[in-house]
């Protein structure tokens, strides 16, 4: 069974789930960091135990018991600041606070990872990060900034559309200013995208607005730009039979299977 811990950073509380799978390897535990742990850690744990690959599974979640409060805070933790006009909200829904992704990265870098190093013997050469949707966006941004000691990045249907595709501009800026030199970068990047996009619960007007905000470049576009710039360890796949929600379980299986 897994353990659950409460950690805080800059006065903000987080939930951390830990589970070791298999036997500790000689080099220490490979680390699998799973964002949105309060939502997906149980499923990740079941898959990891079934795969049987030795690893330390770490879920990072939020402690708010109310789902709407947790969703609102997730918007803040995973994103850069964006105007309300760039957020696909239904009429009458208040605009969430955004722009806290650097604070969340600070929690991972300065609080979570040092704590893990104190608790467990980790393999520093094998730390992987999994994020879906807005957490996938955070995963890509973490790759660009190289501010976390992560060696493998796994972004699942990432919200590249967020803030009018700001992440694509950041990719271009990182390469243009040589903050990122793709040909020298040995970190691995995997981007999975869902092929099924239609939602039957939206009105025509809502569907058109959603298509306008979320259309254009996506995760495959990010991967292609990175590959064309010379990165040798980026791969992308579109899974045509999966939707934005259904892709999570098979993506976790792919992520947790990689030794």
Short-list 32, 39, 61, CA closest to 253: 32
**Which residues constitute the domain of residue 197?**
3-257
The CATH code of the domain that includes 16 is 3.40.50.1820
What is the helix (H) or strand (E) element at residue 59, kind and residue range?
A: strand 55-61
The pLDDT, as a whole number, for residue 205 is: 57
pLDDT band at 197 (very low <50, low <70, confident <90, very high): low
Query: For residue 94, is pLDDT > 90?
Result: no
Mean pLDDT lowest among 3-7, 65-69, 213-217: 213-217
pLDDT band at 209 (very low <50, low <70, confident <90, very high): low
Domain count, the chain: 1
Which has more confidence, 87 or 252? 252
pLDDT band at 195 (very low <50, low <70, confident <90, very high): confident
The pLDDT, as a whole number, for residue 85 is: 84
Torsion (CA) 244, 246, 247, 249 in degrees, nearest 10? 140
The DSSP secondary-structure symbol of 91 reads: T
70-73: long-range contacts, CB 8 A cutoff, minimum separation 24: 70/38, 71/96, 72/96, 72/97
The pLDDT, as a whole number, for residue 98 is: 97
Cβ distance 30 to 54 under 8 Å?
A: yes
Cβ distance 128 to 254 under 8 Å?
A: no
């Amino acid at each position: 069974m897994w353990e659950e811990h409460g950690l805080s950073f800059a006065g903000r509380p987080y939930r951390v789930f830990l589970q070791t799978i298999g036997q500790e390897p000689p080099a220490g535990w490979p680390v699998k960091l799973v964002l949105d742990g309060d939502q997906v850690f149980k499923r990740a744990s079941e898959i990891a135990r079934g795969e049987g690959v030795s690893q330390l599974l770490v879920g990072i979640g939020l402690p708010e018991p109310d789902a709407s409060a947790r969703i609102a805070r997730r918007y803040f933790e995973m994103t850069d600041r964006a105007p309300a006009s760039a957020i696909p909200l239904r009429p009458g829904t208040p605009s969430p606070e955004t722009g806290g992704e650097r604070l969340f990265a600070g929690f991972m870098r300065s609080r979570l990872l040092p704590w893990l190093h104190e608790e467990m013997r980790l393999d520093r050469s094998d730390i992987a990060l999994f994020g879906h949707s807005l957490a996938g966006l955070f995963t890509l941004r973490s790759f660009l900034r190289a501010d976390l000691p992560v060696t493998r990045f796994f972004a699942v249907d990432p919200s590249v559309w967020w803030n009018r595709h700001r992440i694509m501009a950041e990719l271009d800026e990182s390469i243009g200013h040589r903050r990122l030199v793709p040909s020298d970068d040995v970190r691995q990047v995997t981007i999975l995208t869902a092929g099924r996009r239609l939602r039957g619960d939206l009105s025509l007007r809502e569907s058109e607005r959603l298509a306008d905000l979320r259309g254009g470049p996506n995760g495959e576009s990010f991967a292609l730009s990175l590959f064309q710039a010379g990165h040798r360890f980026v791969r992308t796949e579109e899974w045509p039979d999966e939707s934005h929600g259904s892709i999570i379980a098979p993506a976790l299986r792919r992520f947790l299977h990689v030794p």
